[in-house]
A and B are shown apart, each in its own frame.
Chain A
Amino acid sequence: MNMMIKAYRRKLDVANGRVDLSHGAGGRAMGQLIEGIFHKAFDNDWLRAGNDQSAFSVPGGRMVMTTDGYVVSPLFFPGGNIGTLAVHGTINDIAMAGAVPLYLSASFIIEEGFPFAYLERIAQSMGAASREAGVPIITGDTKVVERGKADGVFISTAGVGMVPDGLDLRSDAARPGDAVIISGSIGDHGVAVMSKRENLEFDTDIVSDSAALHGLVADMVAAGGAHIRLMRDPTRGGIAATLNEIASQSRVGFRIDEDKIPLKPEVAAACEFLGLDPLNVANEGKLVAVVAPEGADAVLATMRAHPLGSEAALVGHVVADDNCFVQMTTSCGGRIVDWLSGEQLPRIC
């Protein structure tokens, strides 16, 4: 009965196809690339779980590990730069497992001709971000490529952390009735970056929300750890991609309420004139938590007491739905919230 609804996945044409920009956009095309090439080659239980980090047992507990590449353009934007993003993003991927981040690595691919002054500014802000977070960068690597073979600098960071005893957050854990909580206003990072992008510059006071969320997560875990099913940081593809990912991994649907989603008027206005849906726009200092109904109030109250969660809001619930639709109530009726197709905003992180 569902043949009309089920999303079709075209097989990757490995013999003749090429990587295009949509394969980096965080949508279905990227999923297809990862499954068709990387998962096939690396196949194991950890990758198949589809989390942004993987947990494994070590003497003394469970450890998580993650890695992430940063190619944002422009390199400097209101509220941060590629370096702060590389520190915060990797810490957040560790934190989304409920884990305490411990150490980071950083590797740099630098284009010939890149000014020392820029590199120093980026490195200084990475140092400051890691000290502020209490997560030191303990190893690294440096490569230089010919002019034109990179765009200024690309950074890759990896991180490890330890999961508190008894905690096991996983992407397939959402259950009908669970509450969906967002830690604050959406779309700030994407709009801040776009406001400085060549040919698109516009005046705005919006700054990126780039921030390390492990402090907020630690409070949440302390207040309602047993009730938290899973957490995700809605980066590329925005909360639309995050909710759709959770829906398909947990085989459930969502019902959310547009009115309850925190959104700054400036971000709403910028999205309006850029023709973007804020639900598709990237965040770098926000998280989405799926929480069992009995723990929702306590987790929400704890989040609101933390500076990075002061605008946290319960925006909807998990529902049973074989189609894994994310449905949203709007002022006039209802609609689906889907992944963004293709590539509207390359290199947002």
Chain B
Amino acid sequence: MKYIDEYRDGRLAKDIARQIAALADPAQSYHFMEFCGGHTYAISRYGLEDLLPANVRMIHGPGCPVCVLPIGRIDAAIALAMRPEITLCTYGDLMRVPGSNGSSLLKAKAAGADIRMVYSTLDALRIAEAEPDREVVFFAIGFETTTPPTALALKAAIAKGLGNFSIFCNHVLTPAAIQNILESPDVRKLGTIKIDGFIGPAHVSTVIGTEPYEFFAEEFKKPVVVAGFEPLDVIQAILMLVRQVNDGKHEVENQYIRAVTTFGNEKAQAEVADFFEFRESFEWRGLGEVPYGALRLRPQYVAYDAEKRFSMVTPAAKDNPACECGAILRGVKKPADCKLFGTVCTPDTPMGSCMVSSEGACAAHWTYGRFREQARQVDVGRAVA
């Protein structure tokens, strides 16, 4: 497939991996966080960790919008969807995210809630237009990539005078989350996670550009390489990070020049700014309250804000105490460190959100990589024998 196969060339990937192995100082270890779930998925799906030397390790970051959504927001959405006048439109990924007490949108739908899976915000708009007697709410989630389409849907709803369309806004922001990780005690004081650099998100950066990463590259002295989602993109970004670490640099570099510019898509940014403003604080699963880490609708669009329109409350809800999603999202633990992983928690029976989305660290490892634990067990067995 043109423009895809070129970026999945195994020979080139192995060649870059050899360069990484040659450059990586054996006396040193390199720990890079891929912030974005899209990269986590690519690393697992293409088995890229197999190509890296033992002292170059990847830490999976919190950049999976489904994963960082706190349980309380799912509970609030389920409570809303159970109201008879409501049609809740959502992306398929959210359907199976566990809420409190084993609930989920999928189960709420089976119990009679009018919940529809949509592929885009425009599908939700079409439903609102076609069914004027229904209160159609779009469950908006995602990072900077999915916020402009929500803004455009809102713009279209206003232009069409659709009085029965509103948005349950859960849009979150990448730079605030990266800063939160770098400021966390795990990184700064306790040293429980060592992060030597970041792979910056691909699609998010097409919207916001590379410029927003300059601040923390400088402030926290960590290199950032913005990279595409194909395997060659990721492995090349790792090579660029190793080079920067070896040279004592902490710059923002752009590996994904075929799509990302310094200042991003300014038209999309303007649309977002027209409709959204910062929340002073928003809870992220794993990270806790992140200051200025999320968006809400501006006050003049209150009529389209489902939280206000339906007086939604976000109940305080706790994760299963044994679930390690929080620590996994901060990079402190790996999926296989969690007692629930692969025992009671699998993609069919998820206990935590990281096991739901294909971009979640647990789901990606379960679906594509879990045989590696077995291989290790076999190796250990042989060594003992």
Contacts and interface: CB of A to CB of B under 8 A. Distances in A.
A20 interface: yes
A8 B10 contact: no
Interface string A1-37: 1111111111000000111111000011100000000
B370 A336 contact: yes
Interface stretch (A68-76, A142-150, A264-272): A264-272
A332 interface: yes
Interface of A is mostly: loop
B169 interface: no
Given A2-B374, A323-B371, A325-B374, A331 B348 contact: no
B50 A333 contact: yes
A190 to B, nearest CB: 15
If over half of B's interface residues share one DSSP class (helix, strand or loop), that class is named, otherwise mixed; here it is helix
Contacts, number: 129
B374 A8 contact: no
Contacts of A268: 1, 4
Contact of B10 (A1, A6, A330): A330
B68 to A, nearest CB: 20
A323 B373 CA distance: 11
A281 to B, nearest CB: 15
B111 to A, nearest CB: 6
B245 interface: no
Contacts of A250: none
Contacts of A7: 342, 346, 348
A20 B8 contact: no
A335 B119 contact: no
Contacts of A3: 342-343
A344 B92 contact: yes
A332 B348 contact: no
A269 B341 CA distance: 33
Given A8-B342, A8-B349, A265 B1 contact: yes
A5 B349 CA distance: 14
A125 interface: no
Interface residues of A, number: 41
Contacts of B377: 1-2
Interface in B171-211: none
Interface string B337-362: 00001111111110000000000000
A334 B50 contact: yes
A269 to B, nearest CB: 5
Interface string A200-225: 10000000000000000000000000
B13 A28 contact: no
A336 B368 contact: yes
A344 B356 CA distance: 13
Interface in B224-250: 231, 235
A168 interface: no
Interface string B1-19: 1001000111001100000
A199 interface: yes
Residue picked from B44, B50, B346, most chain A C-beta under 10 Å: B346
Contacts of A342: 92, 95-96, 106, 347-348
B231 A332 contact: yes
A5 B46 contact: no
Contact of B374 (A10, A199, A323, A344): A323
Interface string B30-60: 0000000000000011111111000000000
Contact of B47 (A6, A20, A323, A335): A335
A105 interface: no
Contacts of A333: 46-51
A332 B374 contact: no
Contacts of B49: 333
Given A272-B1, A338-B366, A325 B371 contact: yes
Given A6-B342, A20-B106, A265-B1, A332 B10 contact: yes
A332 B46 contact: yes
Contacts of B92: 342-344
B214 interface: no
A341 B110 contact: no
A249 interface: no
A336 B367 contact: yes
Given A3-B343, A5-B373, A269-B1, A10 B349 contact: yes
B336 interface: yes
B343 A8 contact: yes
B369 interface: yes
B344 A10 contact: yes
A310 interface: no
A29 B48 contact: no
B126 interface: yes
A29 B104 CA distance: 15
B119 A200 contact: yes
A327 interface: yes
Nearest to A325: B371
Given A331-B9, A341-B363, 12 more contacts: A2-B377, A3-B342, A4-B343, A8-B342, A9-B349, A22-B96, A323-B371, A331-B8, A331-B46, A334-B371, A336-B371, A338-B366
Interface of B: 1, 4, 8-10, 13-14, 44-51, 92, 95-96, 106-107, 109-111, 118-120, 123, 126, 231, 235, 336, 341-349, 363, 366-371, 373-374, 377, 381
9 contacts: A2-B374, A4-B341, A5-B370, A8-B343, A18-B110, A199-B123, A268-B1, A268-B4, A336-B367
Closest 6 CB pairs of A and B: A333-B47, A331-B10, A341-B347, A20-B110, A333-B50, A335-B368
